[in-house]
């Protein structure tokens, strides 16, 4: 089973893919997008290209677990994506994934320009790996499913 991980953003979308055994998340790419329509087209194309059986999409909840405007945008995007591809789309709590990646890149002394290009695909990798780990432990619910 191949699982595609997505870190959705309004300007950039990060992608990661699982290895064929479904145990390890590998970075794939970050794409610059011009709005949700472009992001949807890119995500659907990458889903077909990778032959993904499932999509895990990071849901940016607030620290207290509530939903903000971006969580609503991601939920709407997930609905449209599920209609555009044959694979089921799951929303997974992504709190702190991008900030953890940013912190690790700063600690590794990666330049600001390089961080911009790496951050989103690494966040997608973190989101996907957390889902793969939870699934391997029998917690198929992840943190959030819609």
Residue 144 placed within a domain: no
Provide the domain count of the chain. 1
Q: How far apart are CA 90 and CA 120, in angstroms?
A: 18
pLDDT score, position 96 = 67
Domain CATH code at residue 30: 3.30.420.140
pLDDT score, position 125 = 94
**Residue (of 98, 102, 81, 97) closest to 146 by Cα position:** 81
Which of 142 and 89 is assigned the larger pLDDT? Answer: 89
Which of 123 and 109 is assigned the larger pLDDT? Answer: 123
Residue 110 placed within a domain: yes
Condensed to tens digits (0 to 9), the pLDDT of residues 46-88 reads 999 999 999 999 999 888 888 989 999 999 999 999 999 989 9
- Compute the mean pLDDT over every residue in the chain, rounded to the nearest whole number: 88
Residue 56 placed within a domain: yes
Domain that holds residue 67: 3-136
pLDDT score, position 76 = 96
Given a cut of 50, whether residue 143 has pLDDT beyond it is no
Token pair for residue 5? 């991980």
Q: How far apart are CA 120 and CA 67, in angstroms?
A: 21
User: For residue 144, what pLDDT band results from cuts at 50, 70 and 90?
Assistant: very low
Q: Is the dihedral of CA 99, 105, 107, 113 positive or negative?
A: negative
pLDDT score, position 141 = 46
């Amino acid at each position: 089973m191949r699982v595609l991980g997505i870190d959705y953003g309004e300007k950039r979308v990060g992608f990661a893919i699982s290895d064929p055994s479904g145990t390890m998340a590998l970075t794939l790419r970050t794409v610059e997008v011009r709005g949700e329509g472009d992001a949807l087209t890119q995500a659907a194309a990458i889903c077909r290209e990778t032959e993904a059986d499932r999509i895990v999409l990071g849901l940016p909840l607030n620290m207290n677990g509530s939903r903000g405007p971006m969580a609503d945008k991601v939920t709407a995007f997930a609905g449209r994506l599920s209609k555009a591809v044959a694979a089921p789309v799951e929303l997974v709590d992504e709190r702190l994934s991008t900030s953890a990646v940013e912190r690790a890149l700063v600690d590794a002394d990666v330049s600001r320009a390089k961080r911009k290009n790496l951050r989103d695909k690494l966040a997608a990798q973190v989101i996907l790996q957390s889902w793969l780990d939870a699934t391997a432990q029998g917690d198929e619910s992840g943190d959030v499913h819609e």
